[in-house]
A and B are shown apart, each in its own frame.
Chain A
């Protein structure tokens, strides 16, 4: 199989790696780069646990050919916190007990981040739509929706308060 060189930004840091023909981005991030925060849930693009942001937009990394991210900016949950300071979404997920097994949490956080980055004050319906591609089997979604609304409120407070 042909190997191709590939360069991209991962959480603000430059990465130069080789990718195998047909390798998906999830596999590249996990096994090629060693960022284990995106999770494998289905490999079919139906569960959202592998969600990452490419240039700020949520993508299913299991359905994304690795070679297509050349020159682009990728954000994973590993890049959410600023140093030791958690992202408001992370704090809100903790405070709202929005994680049980935690396996869907990285994907949920990124879907939520993409929403809040483009819409800092979403309605409940907009939150629901933003995470509707992410499956959670534990929480019944209610605490996750509440956490995202809570995070939006906190961020706005911090920004304008």
Chain B
């Protein structure tokens, strides 16, 4: 049952368009119902070879020796591939955007950090022959202690999961072991609040479970190229990742996909295309590499687990005046995309509410489990579960209607958000009204009269005086070493002032206590982040507009193939 409530925001739309807004049949519907839509595996090749991986049975272990001699003698085996056969056997997915340090091999050759990590690949005439040969590969393991819980993993002395990040935490901006959000002063607000309400929430790991499992078929194409049929969700991520791992120029790769049997985020990781092309490079024959369902569920990257601690300062009338988050994303053994999901989550906090004091420390933690990756709502779904369960608790403790609590605190057009941009185009209140109406949930007249278009802005548009700190400072990383590239110092670096770690690239040059409650005075802060109280009265323009760093100066572009380098690391 679906209805389109055209009366809402009608004056913001022109509903008389020719094609937009029409219930046009899908272009692919006929292909779907006739079974003719061409998925990656619906391409037949004479002489197709099959790739299966030898996988770690341990959460964490060192590889002493791999004996492939028995497997090589198995019938139908064409080639066994080891880490040394991968031309450039270290990558991180977001290195294509210059974000993060290469930390994950395609085929591990020194140690494994999760159960299921590949240490060899068998290429054989049939899938069955490949499976039989996989069972004959002998690996001599030195089992290592493993850590599986995010909060255990960041304790001193925990087993090091990922050698690139010995603290088991991704490093943000070359500077901190977590991503910060600071808006106002939560501690001061907690002291003024009528109540403090706390909670702990755990988002479970979830499998994307597309009905088509992840895979790719590579084959030699004319003119010394490789054609790859793929289930990828991101064609150029897969193309560029393959190009990098195999040291093949990108124009020698011809990727074809775009008709995919569900993805939900699980088909971004680009594990299959490089393996299939590598197989084809080594054998000269078409090669298919596909997860079976067991692999898809336990080796394919899931939506990672997230743990969130919330602490709210609440007034008895229902206003939330402070909200503090501590979040732990379980990234598994390698970074993949969790580092980025945290950036997205921090930009989302504190949810769709206008709260004058917000604080978050969010950690991307490495544990000895399957690396996590994107899934529908990545970075948001988990914290929304936490926020909305917490809102329900607040309503219950105050004896207030839970919808009215949301409407009271809802963000409205013109409000300043914690990431320091003005809210616009908001519609939370109207959604609350309509859902309540549909379910026959009574609301007070005041709640029914609220609007996203009214009562925002003004004092609610101000950026509060903000307390910052250097808690979680790490050493040994610089902006320049972050992706193992030398990078030019841009205007953003200058804005950081002389205390910028970028200007102290050596490991021993900064001695900063590991935690501060308050920022020491030499700590440079970007001016828009913490304006003097008087400056905050005028509605501030979008602060970034004043920043030269966001203007994409051409000289900053030259280090990457993409549109810009990432200030996430540079600053």
A residues with a Cβ closer than 8 A to B are 22, 31, 34, 36-44, 46-47, 49, 76-78, 80-81, 86, 89-91, 93-94, 97, 99-106, 109, 135-138
Q: Chain A residues with Cβ under 8 A from B263's Cβ?
A: 101
Using A94-B33, A102-B31 as known contacts, say yes or no to A41 and B213 having CB atoms under 8 A apart: yes
CB-contacts of B55-106 with A (<8 A): none
CB nearest neighbor in B for A103: B261
Say yes or no: is B221 at the interface (Cβ < 8 Å to chain A).
Answer: no
**B33/A99 in contact, CB under 8 A:** yes
* Given contact pairs A101-B262, A103-B210, A137-B209, a sample of 13 additional A-B residue pairs in the complex whose CB atoms are under 8 Å apart: A22-B128, A34-B44, A39-B39, A40-B41, A40-B290, A86-B34, A94-B33, A99-B32, A103-B39, A105-B33, A109-B33, A136-B211, A138-B262
Q: Chain B residues with Cβ under 8 A from A36's Cβ?
A: 35, 42, 44
Q: Chain A residues with Cβ under 8 A from B31's Cβ?
A: 102
Cβ distance A17 to chain B, nearest Cβ, rounded Å? 15
Q: Chain A residues with Cβ under 8 A from B36's Cβ?
A: 37
Cβ distance B132 to chain A, nearest Cβ, rounded Å? 12
**B44/A76 in contact, CB under 8 A:** no
**A101/B128 in contact, CB under 8 A:** no
**A101/B260 in contact, CB under 8 A:** yes
Say yes or no: is B521 at the interface (Cβ < 8 Å to chain A).
Answer: no
Say yes or no: is B481 at the interface (Cβ < 8 Å to chain A).
Answer: no
B residues with a Cβ closer than 8 A to A are 25-26, 28-37, 39, 41-42, 44, 128, 209-213, 260-264, 290, 292-294
**A49/B211 in contact, CB under 8 A:** yes
**B35/A137 in contact, CB under 8 A:** no
**A135/B293 in contact, CB under 8 A:** no
Cβ distance A131 to chain B, nearest Cβ, rounded Å? 13
**B34/A101 in contact, CB under 8 A:** no
CB nearest neighbor in A for B212: A103
Cβ distance B50 to chain A, nearest Cβ, rounded Å? 11
- A158–B143 Cα distance when bound, in Å, is 68
Q: CB < 8 Å: which of B42, B213, B261 contacts A101? A: B261
- A145–B292 Cα distance when bound, in Å, is 28
CB nearest neighbor in A for B260: A101
Q: CB < 8 Å: which of B26, B29, B261 contacts A39? A: B261
Which of B28, B32, B42, B260: most chain A CB closer than 10 A? B32
CB nearest neighbor in A for B31: A102
What are 16 A-B pairs at a CB distance below 8 A? A37-B34, A42-B213, A43-B292, A49-B212, A78-B35, A80-B34, A93-B29, A93-B32, A94-B25, A94-B33, A99-B33, A101-B210, A135-B211, A136-B211, A137-B209, A137-B262
Using A39-B211, A94-B29, A94-B33 as known contacts, say yes or no to A137 and B42 having CB atoms under 8 A apart: no
**A106/B35 in contact, CB under 8 A:** yes
**B44/A102 in contact, CB under 8 A:** no
**8 cross-chain pairs, A with B, having the tightest CB-CB distances, nearest first:** A37-B35, A103-B261, A102-B32, A77-B35, A42-B293, A99-B32, A90-B33, A106-B35
- A105–B293 Cα distance when bound, in Å, is 19
- A109–B264 Cα distance when bound, in Å, is 23
